[in-house]
Each structure stands twice: as C-alpha cells, then as structure tokens.
Amino acid sequence: MTGLGVGVYCTTSIEYMYDPKLLVMGFPMPIVMFELEGARWVDFVNLLGPFVFAINGIFFGSILLLPFSIIALFRFGLRPRLPEKTRGFPIMPT
C-alpha cells in the first residue's frame, strides 16, 4: 500500500523541465508532457494514462520491497531447502 501511495504521489505531484521547452509531469513514467510552442504550452497526454498510476505504484512498491528481498536472499540462499527426510535419493539396484 505504501508503494501505491508513493506512486500516486509521484505521478501527480512531481514535475520537472526536461529542456527549456518541455515540461514533464509524473515520475518515473510521465502522465503528461507540456511543450512550449510560441507563447503557449501544448499538452501531450500519455495514452496509458489510466494505467500510469498502477505502473508507478508497482515500481515504487518493488523498490520499497527490495531491501527485504535482499535480506531474504542472504538469509535463505538461492536454492530452496528440502526437509531432512527428502535430501538425497536412495541407490536402487538395477
């Protein structure tokens, strides 16, 4: 839930100037861009607009869960651990 909240906040509140004639709103995936043409700003809306909130929420959610994933990786290793009874296979005569 925290990642979704941070994603929605960054989508709606962060804006930056990509260059002097281009204003971008939304981070990391922009929801709208404004281009200065003459004396007015022309908007270009992202076609994935309704999904940008979810995409940014998933991005920030995964970033927030990354430290826990790294800790789990070092704690439990890469391979799943088998119970003692199922480790190894008995040798069957042929």
More confident position, 78 or 17: 17
Model confidence band, residue 83 (pLDDT cutoffs 50, 70, 90): low
Give the sign of the dihedral formed by CA 76, CA 80, CA 81, CA 83.
Answer: positive
pTM reported for the whole predicted model: 0.55
Domain residue spans of the chain: 2-79
Q: Is the pLDDT of residue 70 over 60?
A: yes
Is the previous residue joined to 30 through a cis bond, with omega within 30 degrees of 0? no
